[in-house]
Structure 1
Amino acid sequence: MYKSYYKIKEINNIYKLIKDGIFLIELGCYPGGWSKYIKKYKNKHLKIDIKNIYSKKNFIKGNFYSNKVYKKIFFFSNYNKADLIISDLCPKISKIKFQNKIIFENLLKKIISFSEFFLKKNGNLIFKSMEYNNINILKNFFSYFKKVYKKKLKFTKKSSSEIFYICKDFLYEY
């Protein structure tokens, strides 16, 4: 089983965001650990990644921030917004910390923009980040939610700067 399976399970055991009957969008679903966990629930689950995955059901191959993928999401969702967006995306990381910070900040901006567009009012967001990220990018975005939690998970390596943000109850709908 993938480590990511246990990470999303740990998050869900605490925050109870993945449940039956919701529409959720998963960004960066390869290799499939989060998807395997989500499969236990009866929900509408759309998976998006640039890499192919084992199951093509409800899968869009491509960059989640491209116009082509946006159109496919609208088609799939019948123009409905998501109850939950989850992202385990991580860019390729080098040994140059400053470069990694910039690359990760650009990814976060895209996740934020995507979430503002596709998340319904009172919807929730779970995404991965790194401790060295510029919190200023996130600070304003966090004000769009009633509650935001920062969590270092048990299944994350001790040496890793990986953290997860759990954002609950989106206050706006665009």
Structure 2
Amino acid sequence: MYNVVLLIERQLIELDANQIVSLQEGVDDDVTYHLLLPIESSAAVLGSSMSALGGGQFVPMTEPDTMAVVDQELHQAGEAELDESARLLRDRGQQVTARLTDLDPIDALKELVTETSADEVIILTEPHLVREFLKLDWTSRARRSLDVPTLHLLEHLPFEAQTEI
């Protein structure tokens, strides 16, 4: 069994699924993809929304019921994205497991890599130029703490376009 952990920032599209599967075409073993999608907590979402509005100076008290509703909505949206991403890979004949996490993405990644005895990690994100330059992006952090090959791909872009960025 060849285990590939995929840390994704958002739902895969057809192009992403095709490219991911093409990377393991030469593997002589059965491949299993383990999808990992981080979701934010309601507190993080509300905090970032407030800081975007006014510099983070004012944070209103929020009813616990409101926080629970926001958490549930975030979880449901994450599940829908994760289910669709898994379906795209399964439609290509792949074995897939999928999980959401509200942990730090790299902590959750390290846990899943250990749990699955991963042979490889693929991280799909949109471009984060400043974080990448400062080596604070998911891929840089993962490479510092994992002992498996770790590939960074830009989501929703063909391979050829990724070399231009």
Alignment TM-score, normalising by the size of structure 2: 0.41
Larger strand percent:
1
Higher relative contact order (CA 8 A, sep 6+): 2
- Which is greater in Rg? 2
Larger helix percent:
2
Alignment TM-score, normalising by the size of structure 1: 0.40
